[in-house]
Amino acid sequence: MAPRRLLFCLDESKQSVRALEWTLLHLRRASDELHLVTVLPPLLYNVYPVAPVATGAAVAAVTHQWEAQRRAEEHQAAEVLKAAVDLVCTQHNKVPRDLVHTKALPAAGGASGVAESLVEYARTYLIDLAVVGCRGMGAFQRSLMSFIGLGSVSDHCCHHMPCPTLVVRGEEAVLSRGLMQADEAHPPQSAQPKRVMACCDDSPHAHAALLWALDNTLLPNDHLVLAAVAMPVPFPVLDEPATVAAMQSAQYREAAEAAKATAQDVAERCAAAAQRRGVGKTKLTTVALPPGSSSGDIGEALCKHAKSEGVDLMVVGSRGMGAITRSLLGLVGMGSVSDYLSHNSPCPLAVVKGVAGGGDDGAVVVTGRHGDMAEGGHGAHAGLAPMGSTLRPITEGDGSEASSMQ
């Protein structure tokens, strides 16, 4: 298989370190390039009265404060990168140093500024998979933080990355499966077989996610779970006479069973496509989940099944809706399932944007990724955009030191 470029979005939090560890154990191939990237926080500019700023001494004091702040933040970024390189190259992973690249990038400000730097880096360096940690904030906290520019970086990456995004989240017991701190008394540990759940429907976006999962996440001993949720069925308003109400209830049950049968058919067709890609029958499970009434119910059904089945990784397609469209559809219960899963999944989640064509085994077209790119392994990259002036890497090397921003 062709080598991939994996982007790891790092900071000083334990969530980003866990995301790096989990991906190295479960998804990394020997030939993959690893891009370890951290983003500097924006400089804090204090506002002083006009008269003192006009003096030379005041200007020198403010400039000195900015320089001291910049040096401290660059030193902290260098320490983050150095620790990541040590984890990747010198501990139990033993990745060759020539496959590891480090960068510290400036941010425009707030969570969106941090994420925009990461998105532009992914476009410039043709990244195949972006990996981010998740702080697990609730909906109310995310809303409040977004008002002051401190919203979710993983949210922004899921919506704007030109490549699939892996959000490593979940309880510690889930993330630590198969992980062990290597030392002299313990040899390097190989990954244990994992359970990968692909969320299926009859859309080209879901099929693209399935094909991506088959090409990028499954190892020979892994188990694939194909889960499809039945379409919602309107529940009848039972204010009719008893006979009519009974008929309506029977019709509802029949419609619900028909919807579940359709979902099972979708899962079976996805299983057939997976078998044509080399997945054995003994490594496949299909399930049709009962219908819900909204995107939240669909997402909740998928999360409950993933937790009950001990799933290690979920893969879901994304329609790539804009913020306004997502908000409007959310008001009528037709919001983004991938959004719900990215906030509530009990295990790591891969969000794949794109469509599949050319039959059951058609190519995956990842939309917005340096132009459209056919992916069936790896295709040629077209329509590359040069690095913008807003993204100037300030460090490149082993993360041991940081140079000044030009």
1 has pLDDT over 60: yes
pLDDT of amino acid 257: 85
Question: Which domains can be identified in the chain, with CATH numbers?
Answer: 1-46+53-186+395-406 (3.40.50.620), 194-368 (3.40.50.620)
* Predicted confidence band of residue 112 (pLDDT cuts 50, 70, 90): low
247 has pLDDT over 70: no
pLDDT of amino acid 380: 34
What are 149's two structure tokens?
């520019």
Instruction: Please enumerate in sequence order all residues whose Cβ is within 8 A of that of 58, keeping only pairs 6 or more positions apart, or say none.
Output: 48, 52
284 or 254, greater pLDDT: 284
Residue-wise pLDDT for 127-143, tens only, equals: 999 999 987 555 444 44
Q: Which DSSP state fits 282?
A: G
pLDDT of amino acid 368: 42
Q: Average pLDDT for residues 271-282, to the nearest whole number?
A: 93
Q: Which residues of 312-336 are buried (b: 16+ CB within 10 A; e: fewer)?
A: bbbbbbbbbbeeeebeebbeeeebb
d(CA 102, CA 98): 11
pLDDT of amino acid 315: 97
To the question of pTM greater than 0.75 for the whole model, the response is yes
119 has pLDDT over 80: yes
pLDDT of amino acid 290: 85
Residue-wise pLDDT for 28-51, tens only, equals: 999 999 999 999 877 666 555 555
Residue-wise pLDDT for 160-219, tens only, equals: 899 999 999 988 777 777 665 444 444 445 567 899 999 999 889 999 999 999 999 998
